[in-house]
Amino acid sequence: MRINSPRVWLVEIGPLVWGITSLWAKLVCFGASLRSLSWAPEEPLGRWLLAHPDMFTATLASLVLLFAPLLLFPRVSRFMILLLLNLALSMLVLVNAVHFRFYGNIMPIIVVGILILPYYLAFCRSVALLDRSYRKRLCWGLLVLGIVFAAPTVRLVWQDKNLVSAYTNLQREVAATVGLPAYYFGDAMIHVASRSRGIGESEHQRVLRFVGGKRERSDASSSNLFGSARGRNVIVIMAESLQTFPIGLEIRGQLITPRLSAFAKESLYFVNFYDQTHLATTSDGEFISFQSLHPLPTGAVAESRYSGNHYYGLPATLSHDGYSTLSACGESGAMWYMNQMHPRLGFQRSFFEEDYKILDRIGPWLADREFFAQTIPILKAQTEPFLAYLLTSSNHDPFEVPEKHRTLNLGELEGSLLGNYLHSVHYFDRAFGEFVDQLRESGLLEKSLLVLYGDHQAFMKGPELARLFGFAESSEYDSFCFRKRVPLFIRLPYAQGAGVRNVTGGHLDIAPTLLSLLGIVDDSSVMFGRDLTQGKDSLVVFRDGSFADGLHYFINHFGGISASACYEAETGRTLDCGQLEERRRGALEQLEISDLIIRGDLIPILRAAKNRANAQ
């Protein structure tokens, strides 16, 4: 049989073309399903297709480069390897789809391949082999073709290496733009580079310069509230999934948060406060609030090889200043490795699920009302002054509070995710209000600085939120405003300084703000936040490279500054992102320095260097 016979080429090349084509289609469809960010509306498919051509070329390039060497194998072995690769990559798509909470049927193509295997084997026996020299030339030709397809994406990354750096790894954005194979290849290279390189001397010096310069920049005039809570107890409540938009919201004449709205009137209420957590959400919320460093680009500090680092945040600072420090949560201490991480942050003692009587549960954990009620005796027994960190859990996804705790009539919102969330927030509101009453009755309220903030956004999706507040579901600006804002309340004794604060801030600003109110100055601290009571907007940097600075929103998208979106914070008017290039570089540098500090376990070294500088 002639080697240029269609039957020969069908047997030799047909399975390869089938494998590449079928996987390419599945991977592109998967990428399209990832076009919605956690805080943004889903981008229309047509616009997404036009804006992300790299999904098609980079995915095809990855598959061609992966499959081309198979031409060097005998064709039956090649077919078997094709099936195994198809199965492996299809499982990769499926696992990621489940992980990102998207669902799709992607297995039938593999089943078809297995079913036709016997027929393919029988067909092979009647068709001559393609000469190995032809297959070698085909292999090299496909490799060259794969490189050609990869060129646009390589050029994109070469122009702005921050797109896929270890510091600003926009996981979902990158995967949605260049496809899973290319993403995983790049991610593997990043991890190999970051593990092998470590912290070199030049990076160490860079961190020292940045932290030293930050100390000089932070020596601004103190707030008029500096020291207003000197010597007071500190009670910090990190509220699960509490966002700003339910505060003061009224539906059918019912206030969703009557107690929080009342509490806001006797507190410093920061209304432009943003969620700076990342993939580890609640675990991130703890770390960044107390240590005032950024979360990791992937994973959680508490679950990484950096969990054993020498941290020195708010709890450790207050311990050094004579405070007793404790943490409490109605969940197992193994959750988010709290029983290991809290001592690292400086908490001297912790109370977890095993220390409470489980009289009522919401979801798998102790209900917030019981948690607060049983925590009051613990607080009353503490040596003063004390720092108490309380982590709530009832307002947790999927926000399904028992019927006995549902007291609102939400009309058409009943049964929706947003409706469930509002019921859940309303339950927390009542539990928190009762806790404040108990603090007042015990005498602790006026002896304490009482702090409440949301640990992270609630990841609300769907049109209900847009309809409720009257904005277009497709509006990236409005979605950013509503979904990224979480509340921060700080109540000083006897409601001193109470009122709305419009200054822009985020989780990293909590520790510096509380230290200022307590009148504690630690010139050796390694914290990236600032004192919000000074009235100056922070540069609130998000892990994906986006930021808010009080005047602008810079929303980072994979593809560099030209692909990003920028808005005036007050009006929502779009801006040319080139105007914010300097701020963008400052935001990326902050992420890089924070990561270097964590990777190098540099806090003790930096504190020692600062102490030496202060002594001179």
Domain ranges for the chain, please list them: 6-158, 233-536
Q: What is the DSSP string of 64-87?
A: HHHHGGGGGS-HHHHHHHHHHHHH
Q: Residue 266 is encoded by which pair of tokens?
A: 């006797």
pLDDT of residue 298 exceeding 50? yes
Q: What is the pLDDT of residue 422?
A: 98
| Mean pLDDT value of segment 397-405 | 93
CA distance 284 to 508: 11
The one-letter code for the residue type at 454 is G
Q: Is 470 exposed, middle or buried (0-12, 13-18, 19+ CB in 10 A)?
A: exposed
Q: How far is CA 485 from the centre of its chain?
A: 14
CA distance 358 to 401: 16
CA distance 488 to 301: 23
Beta bridge partners of residue 59, listed in sequence order: none
Q: Is 465 exposed, middle or buried (0-12, 13-18, 19+ CB in 10 A)?
A: buried
**Do 515 and 312 meet the contact criterion of CB atoms below 8 Å apart?**
no
Q: What is the pLDDT of residue 564?
A: 87
Strand (E) positions, 396-454?
Answer: 448-454
Evaluate the omega torsion of the peptide bond into residue 41 and state whether it is cis, within 30 degrees of 0. Answer: no
Q: What is the pLDDT of residue 6?
A: 73
Q: What is the pLDDT of residue 439?
A: 98
Q: What is the pLDDT of residue 500?
A: 97
Q: Tens of pLDDT along 413-449?
A: 999 999 999 999 999 999 999 999 999 999 999 999 9
| Mean pLDDT value of segment 223-236 | 96
How many Cβ atoms from other residues are within 10 Å of residue 383's Cβ? 8
**Do 451 and 514 meet the contact criterion of CB atoms below 8 Å apart?**
yes
Which of 73, 546, 49, 494 is CA-nearest to residue 294? 546
CATH of 233-536, one of 1.10.3720.10, 3.40.50.970, 1.10.357.10, 3.40.720.10: 3.40.720.10
pTM to 2 decimals?
0.80
Which one has a higher pLDDT value, 479 or 1? 479
**Do 142 and 68 meet the contact criterion of CB atoms below 8 Å apart?**
yes
CA distance 539 to 554: 11
**Do 474 and 259 meet the contact criterion of CB atoms below 8 Å apart?**
no
- Cα separations in angstroms, 246 against 255, 277, 421, 465, 482: 9, 20, 9, 11, 10
CA distance 169 to 297: 6
- Cα separations in angstroms, 12 against 50, 102, 184: 35, 36, 29
Determine the 3-state secondary structure of 270 from DSSP: strand
**Minimum mean pLDDT range among 121-125, 244-248, 270-274:** 121-125
**Do 550 and 503 meet the contact criterion of CB atoms below 8 Å apart?**
yes
CA distance 427 to 240: 12
Evaluate the omega torsion of the peptide bond into residue 343 and state whether it is cis, within 30 degrees of 0. Answer: no
Q: What is the pLDDT of residue 24?
A: 79
Q: Tens of pLDDT along 532-565?
A: 999 999 999 999 899 999 999 999 886 666 778 9
Q: Tens of pLDDT along 149-202?
A: 677 666 666 655 555 555 555 555 665 566 656 666 666 665 655 554 457 888
pLDDT of residue 341 exceeding 80? yes
Determine the 3-state secondary structure of 542 from DSSP: coil
pLDDT of residue 607 exceeding 90? yes
Contacts of 220 (CB under 8 A, 6+ apart): 534, 536
Output helix, strand, coil percentages for the chain, rounded to the nearest 5.
55, 10, 35
Sign of dihedral through CA atoms 224, 266, 270, 510? positive
| Mean pLDDT value of segment 304-312 | 93
Q: Tens of pLDDT along 487-513?
A: 999 999 999 999 999 999 999 999 999
**Do 490 and 268 meet the contact criterion of CB atoms below 8 Å apart?**
yes
Beta bridge partners of residue 272, listed in sequence order: 504
**Residue 399 region by backbone torsions, left for phi larger than 0, else alpha for psi between -120 and 50, else beta:** left
Length of the chain: 616
Q: Where are the alpha helices (DSSP H) in 457-602?
A: 464-469, 476-484, 510-517, 581-599
Q: If residue 602 lies in a helix (H) or strand (E), which one and from where to where?
A: none
Q: Tens of pLDDT along 562-594?
A: 778 999 999 999 999 999 999 999 999 999 999
